Structure 1
Amino acid sequence: MASSSIDDEVVHIVRSPRDKRDYRAVRLENNLQALLVHCPGSHKAAAALAVNAGHFDDPEHTQGLAHFLEHMLFLGNSSFPSPSAFSDFLNAYGGQQNAWTGTEYSNFYFDCQASALERALEYFAAMFQQPLLAQEWIDKERQSIESEFRLKQQDELRRLYQVHKSTCNPKHPFSQFSVGNLNTLKDDKHGTLQDKLRRFFTQHYVSDNLRLVIAGPQSLERLAELAETHFSALPSSAQMTTAKKGLAPLYRPDQLGVKLEVKPVKPARRLIITLPLPAIDDDYAHKTTSFIAHILGYEGPQSLFSCLRNRGWINSLSAGGGISGSNFKDFNINIQLTERGEKHALSVAQWVFNYIRLIQDQGIEDWRYEERRLSTELSFKFQEPIPVGELVSQLAVNAHHYPERDIIYGDYRMDCLNNMRANELLNLMVPERARITLISAQANTNKLTLLYDTPYSMRPLQADEVAQLKAPADGFCAQLPRQNRFLNEHFQPYPLEAEQTRPSALIDNDQLTLWHLQDQEFRVPKGHIYLNLEAPQVTASALNFACSRIWAELMIDALNEDLYDAEVAGLHFNIYPTQTGITIHTTGLSAGQLPLLSYLMRQAQTVKFDRSRWQAVTQQLVNNWHSAHQNQPLNLLFSELNLLLQQGLYRLSDMAAACESLSYTHFSHIVANLFKPMRVTGFMHGDWQQQHAGQLAQLIQANTGSNGLNKAPIQQRIKRLQDIERAANPIAVPMQHNDKAALQYVQGASDSPREQVALMLLQQLIHQFVFDELRTRRQLGYMAGSQYFALQRLPGIIIFVQSPNVSEDDLQHQISEALELCFEHLNEMSLKAWAHSKSVLRQQLSVTDRSLRVRSQRLWGAIQLGDTQFDRADQLIRALDDWQLDDWLAYSQRLLFEQPVRLYIQTKADSG
C-alpha cells in the first residue's frame, strides 16, 4: 500500500466494550471516505457503498430515475458485461447482493465467503466505474420497475404515502413519484432514458458523494489495500460537479393546521397526528425528539396510552416515527382506534395535545433524560453482533450522518438534556401546525391520488376544532412517567460453574422437562427462557386456536402496563400460541427474568379481562384475519402450502368466521379448559447457574399444578405429498388481486441428514439461475425465485413467481421450463465446481453462533424437534461429504422429473 494514497490520521471510533471487531477510518486519494472493519474469526466478508443521491435528486421530468439506476447498476459494466456476472459469483461463494433507494441516499451492499472478498470487491467496484446501461436491459428492467409499481398499488402504506405526497409542497421533491413506472421512465424531449441514466450517474456517483465500508477477517492493513486497489479510481468531485440544490419547505402554510381523511383498502381505524419539525441531524448527540417521543409513547400506569385505552378509545399508541430528511422531520403520533374511539377521534387528539403541554410544563427534567440515556447506554453496552452484511449496510449510511468517531455510537449517543431545543420543539407541537389524519372505511373523501387512486380529503381545521384541541380535556388524568424501579447501572454475569457445552435436562418427568445451559462463550448478564405449555386443546379446532390467539393478546395487553418499565430497562416477554400449545419467552438482563416470569405465571392464573378490552382486541384480530393476504398473492400461496402440510394450523378466514358469534362467556369457558391437560418443556440459557434453573423448576411446578399429559412431548407430523388429495393437480386459491401467482413445491422423501443436505445443495445451485431466468430474462414479475423450505426437518424447495400480466397456468409452465433449463445447466457441472459448491455449503453448516440470541434459538429449535444430541450440523456435514456428483445428479433428476413429488398451487380470480 502506498502510504501517500491514504490519509493516515487516526480517529478513535467509539464502540461497545464487548465489540471484538477493530475499526479504522481512512480517506483515499480521490477523497473517498472508507471505514474498514476487522472481524476476527468471521467466515463471511462484506462491503457496502452508500451514495448521497436518492429520489429527491430525480429530475422532475423523469421521476423514479434514481431507483431505476439502482437496478441498472447490477446489469453489467465494461469489466463484467454479463448482467448476472456478480450475482453468479456471489452465489458460488455463499453470498448475496442487494440495494435500496431512499429519499436522499441509495445503498448497495453484498456479502460472501471471506476468502472471496478480493474478487468480490473487483466486481462491486466495477459497478460504479463504467456501467454499461445497455439498451437491451433498460427495456427489460423497465418492465421489472413497472411490476414493482403494480405490485404495491394496493399496499396500504404505499397508498397512504401517496396521500402524503399529494398534500405536501409540490416544490419539495418529496412530492415526486419515487418508484417510477413505464410512464415516467421513457425517452422524451429531455433525452433518451439511457442518456438520462448516464447524466445522473456522472453527476452523483462521485467519490465525495460516497461512503464505503469493507468488513471481513482480513487485517485492517489488508482491507486498506483492497480499498485503495479497487476504489481509488472512482471519479472525484474535482472532476465532476456534485452541486446540491437547496430544498423548499416540506409544507406550505395552508398545508398545516389541517384534517385529512383517507379511505383504506382493508378495514382500519387509525389516527395519525403529524407535527412538522426542523431537521434532527444536528441534534444527534442529544436526541431531543427521541426523548420527547419516549415520554409521549410511555405505556406504564396513568400514561396517555393507559388512560385512553381505559376509556375504550384506543388499542395502541406510538410516538416519534415519521419521515425525516436534511431539512425536515415529521414527528408522528400513530394511534390505532377502537370502534368507539373512531367516534371520539377529535377528543383523542385533544388528549394528545393536553399531554404535550404537560410534558412542556413538567416533563423536561434532567432525571428523566438520564433514565433514557442509561437505558440507551445499556443497549449499546450489551448489544449483540449482527451479520457482516447488515453491519456494512448500516454503517455506510451512518457515515453520511455522523462524524467518523460516532459512526457506530451515533445511534446511541445521548450527551445531556438540551433544554433549549426541547422547548423549541414543544412550542412547534401545537394544533395550528398539526396535520391530523383519520384513516377509516367511513372517511369523507372527495379526491383521488395519482398513481394509487387512494380516496382522501384535506381541509383546514375549523376554529371550534382548534379551540377544542387547545382546551383542557374532560376527565384528563394522564400523568408523566415515574422513576423506573428496574433501571440499574451495575450488571455483571454470574460466575461460571462446571464446563458445559450443550444443554442438559435437569428435570424430565411426565409433567416437566427442563433444559439448562450456562453459556461459556457469551459472557454477558443476559439470557433467554423458553417455556412451551404443551396443551392439545389449543389446536383442537379453529375456534380454540383463535381463542388462544385472543388470550395471548389479552395477556400481553393486561400485563403491558405493569411491565412497561421492565421493557424499558431491558426485560422483554412474549406470549404466543404454537402448533403444540402456548409459548412464553422472556429475554434480556438475567437478574430480573425469574421475578418477571413469576409475575407472568401468577397473572396468567388470576387475571380477569375487562369485557370492553376483550371486545376491542377480538374485533381487531378478526379484522386482521379477514383482510390478511388480501393484497399479497404469493404470501397467500405460502400460507396455503403451510396449511396443506402441517397439522394444528387453520386458515385465518376460518378463525375469523369461528369468532363471528363468539361471546365473552363462551370465550371464558374455552380458555378455562385450554390447559387441561398440559405438560411443560422449558429451556434456560445464558448467564444463569444450575441453582437458578432449580428456582425456575419450582416456579413452574408451583404455577402449573398437576395437569400432566403423562406422555412425551407432542411431536407434529408433516404430511407427505402422496397423502394429500388433489396434489397431482394445481390447487387454486381464490384471490382478489390483479396480479397472478404460482408456486411449485418439491418435497424430499425423508428427514434424514442425507436427504436434507441433498436439497440444500439443490437450492444452492438453482436459486440464482431460477431468479435470473424468471425475473431478469423472462421478466415475468418483480417477485420470483426459489427457497429451501424445511418443515420439522423434512426438506423441500419452493419455486415461485408473481406476475401482473401472465396467467397462472402459463406461470406454472414457465417455472417447469426454467427448472428443465436449470437441470441441463447442472448436468454440465464439472467436478471442480461440484467440490466448490460442497465446500461453500460445508462452511455455512460449520458457522458458529454469532450471538447468544442466535444460539438460544438454535438450541430451543433442536429441543422442540427432539434432537437432544444437538449435533445436527455435524450429521449434515458428514452426509454432505458422502454425496458424489453422479449420485446427486441422478437423485435430483428423479426428484424433479422422473418421480416428481410436487405440489402446484396458484391463485385464481375470486368472483366474490
Structure 2
Amino acid sequence: MANSSKTDELVRVVRSPSDKRDYQHLVLDNQLKVLLVHCPDSVKAAGSIAISAGHFDDPPHTQGLAHFLEHMFFMGSQSYPEPSAFNDFLSAHGGQHNAWTGTEFTNFHFDCNANALEAAFERFASILKEPLFSDKWIQKEKQSIESEFRLKQKDELRRLYQVHKVTANQDHPFSLFSVGNLNTLKDDEHGTLQQKLKRFYESHFSANRMQLVLAGPQSLTELEAIATRHFSDFQNHAQPKTAITEPLYTEEQKGLFIQVKPLKDAYRLILTFPLPGIDQDYRNKTTSFIAHIVGYEGPGSLFNCLRDKGWINSLSAGGGISGSNFKDFNVNIQLTLSGRKNIDTILQWVFAYLRKVKTEGIEDWRYQERKITSELSFLYQEPTPVGELASQLSINAFHYSLEDTIYGDYRMDELNNAYAEKLLTLMTPKHSRITLIAPDVKTDREAPIYNTQYSVEKLTESQLTKLSQTPAEFIAKLPERNRFINDRLHPQPLENETLLPECISSSDLMELWHLQDTEFRVPKGHIYLALKLPAVTSSAYYFAIARLWSELIIDALNDDLYDAEVAGLHFNIYPTQQGIVIHTTGLSEGQLPLMSHLMKRALVLKFAHRRFRDIKQTLVANWQSAHQNQPLNKLFAELNQQLQPGLFRLPELANQLSALSFREFTQALERMFEPVYIKAFMHGDWQTRQAHELAELIQANLPTERPAQKDRDSVKKVSEFSNQELEVPCSHPDNAILLYQQGNNDSEREQICYMLLQQLVHQAFFHDIRTEKQLGYAAGSQYFPVQRLPGILFFVQSNSAPTDTLFDEVSDSLEKLFSRLDTTTLKVWHHTKAVLQQQIRTRDRSLRVKSQRLWGAIQLGDTSFNRQLRLLDALDNYQLTDWLTDIRQKLSQNSGWLRLQTS
C-alpha cells in the first residue's frame, strides 16, 4: 500500500477537545486528495467527493450540463448498469445518497451502515469512474430535469436570481442558466447530448481536481486501504482549473436601481455591494465581522431605529453570492407598507450607518467579542452526523488549509483594520446595486426562463448625492459591550449518574422534569416550558392570536435580549397543538435569568399599535401565500390538519387575523391564558438545585389558579372520514396526489409493522414512479407517524399528468409492490429487520437531539423513556408469517386509506 499512496504526516487537523474523531490527510499517486476520518462511536460510515467543477463550467451552448451530468452519474455504471443499483444497495443497508451542483463545485455523498462501507464505496467509485451515459436514460432523465425546473419555475428566489443574472456581466459564467431544461439540454451542431456529457466529464472530472472524504468507525489504516483500492486508478489529466478573470459586474452595472415585481405580495429592499473574493480572508473573517455590526439588532441599532419608525420588520447583513473572484455583501430589509413609501430615507439611513461603521466601528474589542463567541461555538459544537460531515469536509478542504479543514469555519485570528477599511470604502451608493421587490413597482422588461417582470436604471448624480446625505434625524448607534458574554468553559460537576429525567415537582398546575446529562458534558442546556391553554387550540381565531402574540413578544423583547442571542443564549416562543411553548437553549450560564425575564415580561408587556399592525400584516401575507407554489407541501399540510385537532389551515388563520382589531386582540389575550397547565423540562449541565429554582420561578409566575385538563387530544382516524377522497384547491399548474394508510393503534408492534413496510417498498416505489415512469421529480414514500399512531404515505407531483392518471399509476405500482411482498424471502426479511434494528438503535448524536427526544416523550406522557427498547423487542419478536398476515389485512382495508389530491 505504501506504493499506492503517500501520507502527509505533518498535517494535524485542528479539532475541538470534545471531538473523539481522528483525521488523516493523504494524497494518492494520481494526485487525488483524501481525508480519512475515524469515527469510533459511529454505527454508520460515509463517503463524499467534491470536484472543482460546477455550472460555471457549462458550455454556453448547453447550459445546465453540469447539473445534468450530476443526475446521470446515478443512472448506472459499467460494473453496475441498473440505474437503481446504487440506491437499492444503500436502501438495503440503512443508507442514502445525494448530490448537488454549485457554481464552481459539485459534490456527491452517501452514507450506510458501517459494515457495508467497502461494498457501498466500490459502487460509489464505479458510478464516478465508469458512468454509462446510456442514451435511453439520457432521454428519460431529461424529463426529470424539466420537472425539477418546472417545480421551481414560480419560486420567488429563483425568479429574483434570474434578474440578478441578466443584470450582471454577461461574460461572467454567473450569467448562465444553471438548472437546465428541455430547451438547453439537446443535440445540436456541437454534438449529441451524450457526446457533450462525455466531453464535460473527461475535461473536468480529473483526480487532481478532486477531494475525497471517507469516514467511519474503521481504523485510519482500513479507511486508507479502501480509498486506495477504489480511487487510485481514477483518471488524472493534470490540467489545472481555468481561473475566472471576468468581473461579476462591469462598472456600468454598479450604481443601479433595480425593481422586481413578485408573484405574491412582498416588500423587500436589498442593497448589494460587490466585493472581491474573500477566500483568503477566512482566518480573519472580516466580512462576517462587518456583517455582525451592520446587522446588529440591539438598542439604538440601525434595525431598531428603522423598526421604531414603522418602516421595516427585519434587517440582515452579509448574505449574498460568493465565488473565487467575487463576493456580494447584501443588506436585506423586509419593508412595511409605510417603509415602502420611505425608500429614499431608509437608504440614506443605511449608507449613513455604513459610514459610521467605517469611522467608529472597526475596533479590536468588538472583534474580540465576536471571536470569543466563535471559539465557544467551536469548542462546544454538536457532533455532525457522519454523512453530513463527509460532505461538509470535502468542500472545506478546497477553501481552507489542511489543518483548518474543520476549524476554518470558526477561525478568527485578529482584526485586519486595513482590509476592513478597504471593504467599507466599497460600500457606497456609487458602488451599490439597489433592488426593490414590491407588487406595485413599475417594470419594462422580462427576464427570460422565469418570466420575471423587472426594470433597471442607472442612478443619477443627483440621486447618488441624495443617498450620500445623512438624514437630520439619524440617531443610530453602534453596539455597546455585550454584558452577556461569559467565560465559563466547563460544565458543572455531576451530582450523580442518573440517566433518565426525574419529576421533581408535580401539582394540579405544574409538572417539572429535570436531567443533568452525563453523556454530553458541555456547559449547555435546554429548558422547555409548555403552557397548555385550551383556548389556543379551540379555534383558528385563538390560534392565530396566539401566533401573533408570540411574534409580538419576540419582537418586543428583541431590544434587551439581542445581546443574549449573540452571546449564545437563545429563546423562542411559539403556539402548538396544546398551547404555547417557551424554549431557551445554548450556554447554560444565564438561561435561568433569561427564562425569568421571559416569563415576567411575557404576561405584562404592552404592545405598540404600530408593531401590532406591521407584524399582523406580515403574518397574513405569509399565510396567504404559503404553499401557493408547492402542491405537495399543501397536501402534507392538509393531511396534518385533517388528522390532528388543534391545527388549522393557513388561509383560515389569515382570514381570522385580517379583520382583527387591536382592541379585540388585547381583550382576547385576557381570556387566552385561563385556565393553564404547565409542563416543563430542564436538561443540560444544571444541578438539581437549579431545577428547584426553575420550579419556584414557574410557581411565582403562574397566570391562574384554575388548572387546565392534562389530557391530550387523540388523532382522528381515517375510518371516521365521511369522504376518504379529498380535493385540495391549488393554483399551481402542477398536479399532486398523496395516498395515506393509517395504523389501527399506537402499539410498538403496529409501529414496527409500518416501519418494515416502508423499508421494504420505498426504493422500489421511487424507482418505478420517478425513474421508470418519469411521472415527476418529487416522488416517494415515507413512514408517517402522527403522535406515534403509525402510517405510511405515497406521493408524487407532476407537471404533465392529470391527477386521475397519477392515481392510476400510483395504484398500479403499489398493487404490484404489495403483491410481491408474499415472495419476501427469509434472507431479505432478516436483512430488513437488521437494518431497521440499527436505525432504531441509533444513539442521540447531540444534546439537542437528546433533549428533543426526551421532551417529546414527556409531552406524550411516555415517562418510562424506554420506547427504543420496546420497539426493538417488538421487532425482534416479529416473524415473517405474522407480519405478512398483518400487512395483508391492513392494505386490503379501504377504510384505512385516505386520498388527497390537488384540484
Aligned equivalents of 1:650, 1:246: Cα separation in 2: 51
Aligned residue for 2:582, secondary structure, equals strand
Aligned equivalents of 1:203, 1:242: Cα separation in 2: 10
Aligned residue for 2:443, secondary structure, equals coil
Of 793, 804, 812, the residue aligned with 1:809 is 804
- Specify the alignment match of 1:81 in structure 2: 81
Shift of the alpha carbon at 1:705? 4.2
Of 303, 306, 311, the residue aligned with 2:304 is 306
Shift of the alpha carbon at 1:6? 2.0
The question of whether the paired residues in 2 share the 8 Å contact of 1:431 and 1:466 is answered with yes
| Cα offsets for 1:143-189 (capped at 9, x unmatched) | 00000001111000010000101110110110010000001000000
User: Which piece of structure 1 moves more, 16-25 or 334-343?
Assistant: 16-25
Aligned equivalents of 1:357, 1:898: Cα separation in 2: 70
Aligned equivalents of 1:846, 1:186: Cα separation in 2: 48
Shift of the alpha carbon at 1:710? 5.6
Of 754, 757, 762, the residue aligned with 1:759 is 754
1:10 aligns with 2:10: yes
The question of whether the paired residues in 2 share the 8 Å contact of 1:257 and 1:433 is answered with yes
Q: From the superposition, tell whether residues 86 and 46 of structure 1 become closer, same or farther in structure 2 (CA, over 3 Å).
A: same
1:332 aligns with 2:327: no
- Specify the alignment match of 2:527 in structure 1: 529
- Specify the alignment match of 2:283 in structure 1: 285
- Specify the alignment match of 1:211 in structure 2: 211
Aligned residue for 1:554, secondary structure, equals helix
The question of whether the paired residues in 2 share the 8 Å contact of 1:782 and 1:803 is answered with yes
Shift of the alpha carbon at 1:489? 2.4
| Structure 2 stretches lacking a partner, 5+ long | none
Shift of the alpha carbon at 1:8? 3.9
Letter in 2 for 1:329: K
Aligned equivalents of 1:71, 1:4: Cα separation in 2: 31
In the TM superposition, what are the counterparts of 1:216-235 in structure 2 within 5 Å? 216-235=216-235
Aligned residue for 1:693, secondary structure, equals helix
Q: From the superposition, tell whether residues 377 and 401 of structure 1 become closer, same or farther in structure 2 (CA, over 3 Å).
A: same
Shift of the alpha carbon at 1:882? 1.6
Shift of the alpha carbon at 1:312? 0.5
Of 738, 743, 747, the residue aligned with 1:743 is 738
- Specify the alignment match of 1:890 in structure 2: 885
1:787 aligns with 2:758: no
- Specify the alignment match of 2:292 in structure 1: 294
Aligned residue for 1:441, secondary structure, equals coil
Aligned equivalents of 1:708, 1:828: Cα separation in 2: 59
- Specify the alignment match of 2:62 in structure 1: 62
Aligned equivalents of 2:711, 2:510: Cα separation in 1: 13
Shift of the alpha carbon at 1:297? 0.3
- Specify the alignment match of 1:96 in structure 2: 96
Letter in 1 for 2:841: S
Aligned equivalents of 1:740, 1:899: Cα separation in 2: 24
The question of whether the paired residues in 2 share the 8 Å contact of 1:56 and 1:104 is answered with yes
- Specify the alignment match of 2:42 in structure 1: 42
Of 717, 720, 726, the residue aligned with 1:720 is 717
Q: From the superposition, tell whether residues 508 and 236 of structure 1 become closer, same or farther in structure 2 (CA, over 3 Å).
A: same
The question of whether the paired residues in 2 share the 8 Å contact of 1:34 and 1:211 is answered with yes
Of 578, 600, 603, the residue aligned with 1:602 is 600
Aligned equivalents of 1:355, 1:334: Cα separation in 2: 14
Shift of the alpha carbon at 1:824? 3.2
Letter in 2 for 1:226: I
Shift of the alpha carbon at 1:4? 5.3
Shift of the alpha carbon at 1:758? 0.6
Aligned equivalents of 2:187, 2:127: Cα separation in 1: 24
Aligned equivalents of 1:432, 1:21: Cα separation in 2: 49
The question of whether the paired residues in 1 share the 8 Å contact of 2:361 and 2:478 is answered with yes
Of 563, 583, 591, the residue aligned with 1:585 is 583
1:774 aligns with 2:772: no
Of 808, 814, 824, the residue aligned with 1:829 is 824
Aligned equivalents of 2:895, 2:398: Cα separation in 1: 52
The question of whether the paired residues in 1 share the 8 Å contact of 2:534 and 2:708 is answered with no
The question of whether the paired residues in 2 share the 8 Å contact of 1:580 and 1:714 is answered with no
- Specify the alignment match of 2:202 in structure 1: 202
Aligned equivalents of 1:710, 1:606: Cα separation in 2: 21
- Specify the alignment match of 1:573 in structure 2: 571
Aligned equivalents of 2:191, 2:596: Cα separation in 1: 69
1:849 aligns with 2:838: no
Aligned residue for 1:658, secondary structure, equals helix
Aligned equivalents of 1:772, 1:421: Cα separation in 2: 52
User: Which piece of structure 1 moves more, 223-232 or 888-897?
Assistant: 888-897
Q: From the superposition, tell whether residues 541 and 710 of structure 1 become closer, same or farther in structure 2 (CA, over 3 Å).
A: closer
Shift of the alpha carbon at 1:610? 0.6
Q: Count residues with an aligned counterpart.
A: 903
1:451 aligns with 2:446: no
| Cα offsets for 1:215-257 (capped at 9, x unmatched) | 100111111111101111111134xx44415331111111110
The question of whether the paired residues in 2 share the 8 Å contact of 1:675 and 1:707 is answered with no
The question of whether the paired residues in 2 share the 8 Å contact of 1:10 and 1:24 is answered with no
Aligned equivalents of 1:532, 1:11: Cα separation in 2: 49
- Specify the alignment match of 1:471 in structure 2: 469
1:346 aligns with 2:344: yes
Aligned equivalents of 1:721, 1:162: Cα separation in 2: 44
Aligned equivalents of 2:419, 2:844: Cα separation in 1: 43
Aligned residue for 2:153, secondary structure, equals coil
Aligned residue for 1:538, secondary structure, equals coil
Letter in 1 for 2:104: E
Letter in 2 for 1:152: K
The question of whether the paired residues in 1 share the 8 Å contact of 2:268 and 2:438 is answered with yes
Report the TM-score when normalising by structure 2: 0.99
The question of whether the paired residues in 1 share the 8 Å contact of 2:516 and 2:684 is answered with yes
The question of whether the paired residues in 2 share the 8 Å contact of 1:10 and 1:25 is answered with no
Letter in 1 for 2:740: Y
- Specify the alignment match of 1:510 in structure 2: 508
Aligned equivalents of 2:227, 2:241: Cα separation in 1: 26
Letter in 2 for 1:477: I
Shift of the alpha carbon at 1:707? 3.1
- Specify the alignment match of 2:53 in structure 1: 53
Q: From the superposition, tell whether residues 661 and 486 of structure 1 become closer, same or farther in structure 2 (CA, over 3 Å).
A: same
| Cα offsets for 1:307-333 (capped at 9, x unmatched) | 000011000000000000001000000
The question of whether the paired residues in 1 share the 8 Å contact of 2:673 and 2:703 is answered with no
| Cα offsets for 1:260-296 (capped at 9, x unmatched) | 0000011000000000000000111111100000000
Aligned equivalents of 2:601, 2:711: Cα separation in 1: 26
- Specify the alignment match of 1:191 in structure 2: 191
- Specify the alignment match of 1:690 in structure 2: 688
Aligned equivalents of 1:9, 1:41: Cα separation in 2: 24
Shift of the alpha carbon at 1:802? 0.2
Aligned residue for 1:214, secondary structure, equals strand
Aligned residue for 2:97, secondary structure, equals strand
Shift of the alpha carbon at 1:464? 2.5
| Cα offsets for 1:529-556 (capped at 9, x unmatched) | 0000011011111111000000000000
Aligned equivalents of 2:31, 2:344: Cα separation in 1: 53
Shift of the alpha carbon at 1:716? 2.2
In the TM superposition, what are the counterparts of 1:150-161 in structure 2 within 5 Å? 150-161=150-161
1:665 aligns with 2:663: yes
Aligned equivalents of 2:305, 2:840: Cα separation in 1: 51
Letter in 2 for 1:657: N
- Specify the alignment match of 1:414 in structure 2: 412
The question of whether the paired residues in 2 share the 8 Å contact of 1:679 and 1:707 is answered with no
Aligned residue for 1:606, secondary structure, equals coil
Aligned equivalents of 1:392, 1:452: Cα separation in 2: 34
Q: % of aligned pairs identical?
A: 57
Aligned equivalents of 2:493, 2:372: Cα separation in 1: 25
The question of whether the paired residues in 1 share the 8 Å contact of 2:245 and 2:325 is answered with yes
- Specify the alignment match of 1:441 in structure 2: 439
In the TM superposition, what are the counterparts of 1:64-143 in structure 2 within 5 Å? 64-143=64-143
Shift of the alpha carbon at 1:3? 5.2
| Structure 1 stretches lacking a partner, 5+ long | none
Aligned residue for 2:262, secondary structure, equals coil
Aligned equivalents of 1:755, 1:402: Cα separation in 2: 49
In the TM superposition, what are the counterparts of 1:639-678 in structure 2 within 5 Å? 639-678=637-676
